[in-house]
Structure 1
């Protein structure tokens, strides 16, 4: 689209919006005097291409990365704890807590009982919900379960 700036003709590419323009039609144009190639029509929404093409798709990616990082850090912490402390036999009872993660009540034969919140997992702990304790092996220090 061409428009006059200070007596000379300037050309800028203005993305077509919902409205179709015809050749020779008068169109009101708003432009930056410091850089006349940054222009838009007064009928178009003032959008920044950087924002729409980069930042908006980046928001969901950042959210997924944040939660994946937190999950990976938790699994890494648990992975490091097991070689130091070993695996401990226990029994576990899974209780479904609506609107939150499942609650696991773990009983150690010689160390007492502890309640643990479940974490997001592909194994879906709530499907193991039962009234009977299930055999389990738990890694990590027993001091948290000691009474």
Structure 2
């Protein structure tokens, strides 16, 4: 293994701080439900570490690094405070990072606009027996 690669993985003699793979850390910190989702996001180049775009899930990060990535409709800016030992419960995961985003103000739940999951489907389903009779009576005569 080359010296630079060993240092990046935290194995070399110049390794001053513990590091961890970025996909593993994102999963440990519970930003993604599975490690494969974190890997896909990193591989697609949607994660920045200290303002540099990375595309390798094996990129080593450690305490003090700043991550920027999209999560849902939000852009997250996170400073890593610890590497973590495992994927633990949510309170333990929150101890691994410091959120640098200002809290976004959301309107109260009563004021939010309701957007149906599938607006094209407005309760259209199988026609009722009455609808079928009307269609049969009003439709073209099969004997003509």
Band the TM-score falls in, shorter-chain normalisation: under 0.3
Bigger Cα Rg: 1
More strand by share: 1
How high is the TM-score relative to the length of structure 2? 0.23
How high is the TM-score relative to the length of structure 1? 0.23
